[in-house]
Amino acid sequence: MKIRPIIGLEIHVQLKTKSKMFCGCSAQYFGAEPNTHMCPVCLALPGALPRANKKALENAIKVGIALHCRINNFSKFDRKNYMYPDLFKGYQITQYEIPICEEGYVDLKRGDGSALRVGIIRAHQEEDTAKSIHEDGYTLVDGNKAGVPLLEIVSAPDMTSVEDATLFAEYVYTTLRFIGVSDCDMEKGQMRFDVNVNVEIEQDEKDGRTEKIATPIVEIKNLNSFRSMQRALAYEISRQQEEYEKTGIAFGKGNKTTRGWSDDKGHTYLLRSKEEAEDYRYFPDPDLPPVVFSDEEIEQLKNEIGKLPHEIQQEYISLGLNADTALYMTSARSLFAYFEIGRKIYNKEKNLANWMKGDLAFAISQRGLDVKDIQKILPVDQLVGLLQQIDSGVISHTAGKEVLADMLDTHESAESIISKKGLAQVGDSDEMKVIVEKVIGMNESAVINYKAGKSGALMFLVGQVMKEMKGKGNPAVITSLIESILQ
């Protein structure tokens, strides 16, 4: 029996704007008093007229460009009618007939090196719904989120494993954050996934033929983290196989169902048999003019995006960075900018990158700061100043970490901290020679062991010298000094 999952993703992303999609209410609703970011337009009160947010549409176009979509010069808004407590208007404004972006793709590489191209069917502009809060048998509704710009990205069913879906979702996440159209903060609901999944089952019959069936398609709604998407998919893939073995029901017209995901219980559950498109009675929104963007305007937006994360990652890997570090450098625009300035004034790119991703990132998170502000926290020329002190042997790598922490706290330069704390290493000096000779004199048995070729003896002697020098000696210099004396 051969099993092949077929997976398509719908990704909902809140686009970063000051105001909501169709009115002037602030879109920064997180943490605000419930129902304070609302107006007659959000509620579709009689006489209130929506106006489309140009910034949101520009962001939508940027997403389309980044996902290699065709950008439609002309698109329009439609009403999707349905009754639900989180939808005050009784309809949602969306783009049904002509979306702003269509027919794109992204190219990905799986862990085993094989290529995966995921098609983008469309990306359309719409508005978010209100937030429902279920409490003690009641449902409370907070309208602050209603009308926040939302982009729905619909992929083709080109993914065949949980790994594929993860790769694609992470690609979209990284790219959208990088081009600055959304923070994609999943804890705040800024990025959510719906997945469509079913399973192709191929089995050999007794008469030698192979039979191939597909299970009914299931849509799992509202997955709000990578982890729940992965768990829900894995669960559903095996559930569908078991279900088919029990019931023998295969894919057929109209037997698509919608399921929810319980993160606590770790299973999906039936929500409803899927409404067909006509249930929504879509029609053009009579209050909104069509969305028109000229080729020149689209070209301008393309220029604003510049290089995309995957292009930058390739470039960095060719500089010698490993894939993880290259990915880290594009995980925030601030890190990319920081590294780009840094490599202009310091040519050991790999070393700079490793400090950024390692000790500096650690120190920043330890202080509860955000890498978004990395240049303010520690200007890159100051970090480079520290690395140069280490490179030239003035201080050890270990002392460098201590200096870095001090630099973050005091905003002083590496040089001044090194001299204040007396951290400079003692080089190949007479002082060091005296100490080495003293240590050799005091450790006769280690010297005998060294001469007998026992490994570890030299390390021991170096350690003793370091101890005498209170850590200020350069281990490489000490090693060669001991070797030359004992020759």
CB of 274 to Zn ion, least distance (A): 31
Q: Which residue is it, tokens 């704390």?
A: 421
CB of 32 to Zn ion, least distance (A): 13
Going through 82-162 in order, the beta strands assigned E by DSSP cover 91-94, 101-109, 115-127, 131-135, 138-142, 149-155
CB of 287 to Zn ion, least distance (A): 14
Nearer CB in complex with Zn ion: 24/320: 24
- Tokens coding 115: 């290529």
Nearer CB in complex with Zn ion: 129/389: 129
CA distance 309 to 174: 7
- Which residue type is seen at 302? K
Nearer CB in complex with Zn ion: 44/435: 44
Beta bridge partners of 132: 141
CA distance 356 to 331: 12
The answer to whether residues 198 and 217 touch, using CB atoms and an 8 Å cutoff, is yes
Total length of the chain: 487
- Which residue type is seen at 88? F
Nearer CB in complex with Zn ion: 7/41: 41
CB of 60 to Zn ion, least distance (A): 19
CB of 259 to Zn ion, least distance (A): 33
CB of 20 to Zn ion, least distance (A): 5
With residues binned 3-state (H G I as helix, E B as strand, rest as coil), the percentages for the chain, rounded to 5, are: 45, 25, 35
CA distance 250 to 24: 49
241's enclosing H/E stretch is helix 226-247
> Got the DSSP string for 441-475?
HH-HHHHHHHHTT-TTHHHHHHHHHHHHTTT-B-H
Q: Hey, is 268 helix, strand or coil?
A: strand
Nearer CB in complex with Zn ion: 42/223: 42
Nearer CB in complex with Zn ion: 91/261: 91
CA distance 39 to 23: 8
Which of 405, 401, 407, 398 has its CA nearest to residue 425? 398
CB of 42 to Zn ion, least distance (A): 4
Q: Hey, is 461 helix, strand or coil?
A: helix
The answer to whether residues 83 and 140 touch, using CB atoms and an 8 Å cutoff, is no
223's enclosing H/E stretch is strand 218-223
Nearer CB in complex with Zn ion: 79/231: 79
CA distance 482 to 461: 8
- Tokens coding 261: 């995901």
Nearer CB in complex with Zn ion: 39/214: 39
CA-atom Rg of the chain in angstroms:
30
CA distance 215 to 252: 8
- The residues near 294 (Cβ < 8 Å, ≥ 6 apart) are 73
Nearer CB in complex with Zn ion: 42/380: 42
- The residues near 392 (Cβ < 8 Å, ≥ 6 apart) are none
CB of 134 to Zn ion, least distance (A): 25
Phi, psi of 309 (to 5 degrees): -50, -45
CB of 44 to Zn ion, least distance (A): 10
User: HSE of 396 in the Cβ direction (CA atoms, 13 Å)?
Assistant: 16
CB of 148 to Zn ion, least distance (A): 10
Nearer CB in complex with Zn ion: 42/308: 42
DSSP H helices, 40-161, are 54-66
CB of 46 to Zn ion, least distance (A): 15
Nearer CB in complex with Zn ion: 42/201: 42
Nearer CB in complex with Zn ion: 200/287: 287
CA 75 to chain centre: 30
**How distant, in Å, are the alpha carbons of 397, 435, 485, 486 from that of 428?**
18, 11, 13, 16
Nearer CB in complex with Zn ion: 55/372: 55
CB of 345 to Zn ion, least distance (A): 48
Binding site for Zn ion (CB under 5 A): 23, 25, 39, 41-42
CB of 375 to Zn ion, least distance (A): 36
